[in-house]
Amino acid sequence: MLEDNSIFLYKDYGKIVFDLKTLMDKKGITISKIVKITGLHHKVVIRYYEGTVERYDKEVLSKFCFVLGCDLKDIMHYESCLLYTSPSPRDPKTSR
């Protein structure tokens, strides 16, 4: 029997939100410039820029912080599930 606090039951734990686009735009730094300075692949930078990256690489994040002169909290933050509503995958209203 699964308990209520089991990770095997669907729960909304919140999400990680990337603010890299906002920070880069504010500092006037382009994706191409980040690629040139860091040596990162263009697609990697775009995934972080658009917030579509699924697995975070600490070396990549360190490079962003170094080049942008910022802290990790300036690039990404945790958004609690209490701040937004997300439909449950088992919600009959949204499932078809």
CA 26 to chain centroid, in Å, comes to 18
Distance, CA of 76 to CA of 89 (rounded, Å): 26
Work out the pLDDT band at 93, boundaries 50, 70, 90.
low
Instruction: Name which residue leads in pLDDT, 75 or 96.
Output: 75
pLDDT in tens, 4-27: 666 666 677 888 999 999 999 999
pLDDT in tens, 53-91: 999 999 999 999 999 999 999 999 999 887 555 455 555
pTM of the model: 0.71
3-state secondary structure 31-83: HHHHHHHHCCCHHHHHHHHHCCCCCCCHHHHHHHHHHHCCCHHHHEEEECHHH
